[in-house]
Amino acid sequence: MHVATPPAPCSPPTAHLALPFFDDTHRALAEGLVPWAAAQQVDETDDRAACRDWVQRLGADGWLRYCVPAAQGGALPALDSRALVLLRETLAYHSPLADFALAMQGLGSGAITLAGSPAQQAQYLQGVARGELIAAFALSEPEAGSDVGAMQTIAASADPASAAGTFCLNGTKTWISNGGIADFYCVFAKTNPAGGTRGISAFIVDANTPGLDASRHIHVMAPHPLATLQFTDCIVPATALLGEENGGFKLAMRTLDIFRASVAAAALGMARRALAEAVHHARQRRMFGQTLADFQLTQAKLGEMAALVDSAALLTYRAAWLRDTGQARVTAEAAMAKMTATENAQRVIDMALQLHGGRGVEVGSKVESLYRDIRSLRIYEGATEVQQLIIGKSLLQE
């Protein structure tokens, strides 16, 4: 049985909480979360069962309340990027799957928080906060990942003569996190096929809706529950429309703006854990009459790793702080954080694995699992190359 590996003797550092990016609310959150996360032991052999387990635990102990606003049972008046950053960083340090479970609750319901009607928010968000409903965000398609305008899923008006109105969804979504275990999906589809990104709308589709097949599980290198969704004459009522018709692209981008900085935080948590594992191993490993830590080459590597971690942290906290303090759109800043944190974490984890030698590639070692977990974050929610384009475009627009 595989369980979440106990943390290295070095606990996750908390000195960054003293930085001016955070206030007492965030510090109190971290003080409660760190020991809670360290105490959890979850069997992660089956990614889908483990993800459900994590959602239930996170909901029961109140951590998912940070994924919804206070009006719907949340912990804070509105979604707070800094709270999400601290949650994801801490959870990812201990279990990347725990981080995944929390993140998908927030991302999957984020569009409802931002644009849902009062009835929609009341129907779904409280269940998300309690861990009773699992959410999913369904944007990507086989031929439309970062190029959202290439989307081919269609939501056609099924009964224009009806006063209530319905929409008929046909198409395919893929790489959908929580696919197959979610209770509902926030689905983006074209209501105006010729409109490009201006012809996309968002819908809430319950998992048991006839015409929706979420049974095609996708197996990936990190243990995350992903699936392909097939919509075949899937009828949803007009009340399932989320936000304005043809306003789905802007809604998707607003949702991603909130959670992109939190992806950086997840990578940061994994990098911090890799650095802690490397320091612990270097102190313990005996070589040639001394420890691995006594070699200057080891010290140089650890120094480089620490600098990579701190540079990613500053960009991540800045993006979250800018968003929370009501600045203009922080798309470029969030892209910088996501790009830098994921790329730096890949380097840090690779160096940590190298310092472990043969033990680093042994299945079951923490650095080996981190090596698999981090790779996907360089692609999820926009690959590194897409982040570069976002940043470059922002500079040219200025």
- Pairing status of strand 241-242 against strand 200-206: antiparallel
| Residue linked to tokens 């929706």 | 212
- H-helix or E-strand spanning residue 337: helix 331-356
Among residues 31, 304, 381, 385, the one annotated as catalytic is 381
- H-helix or E-strand spanning residue 241: strand 241-242
Q: Is 381 annotated in the active site?
A: yes
Long-range contacts of 351-355 (CB under 8 A, 24+ apart): 351/274, 351/278, 351/301, 351/304, 351/305, 352/274, 352/275, 352/277, 352/278, 352/305, 353/274, 354/301, 355/278, 355/281, 355/282, 355/292, 355/298, 355/301
Q: What is the DSSP string of 251-297?
A: HHHHHHHHHHHHHHHHHHHHHHHHHHHHHHHHHH-EETTEEGGGSHH
Q: What is the DSSP string of 70-85?
A: GGGT-SBSS--HHHHH
Structure tokens at 146: 């970062």
- Pairing status of strand 135-138 against strand 184-190: parallel
Q: b or e along 283-313 (b: 16 or more beta carbons within 10 Å of the residue's beta carbon)?
A: eebeeeeeebbeeeebeebbeebbebbbebb
Q: How many CA atoms lie within 13 A of 300 on its CB side?
A: 3
Q: Distance of alpha carbon 37 from its chain centroid, rounded?
A: 17
Catalytic residues: 381
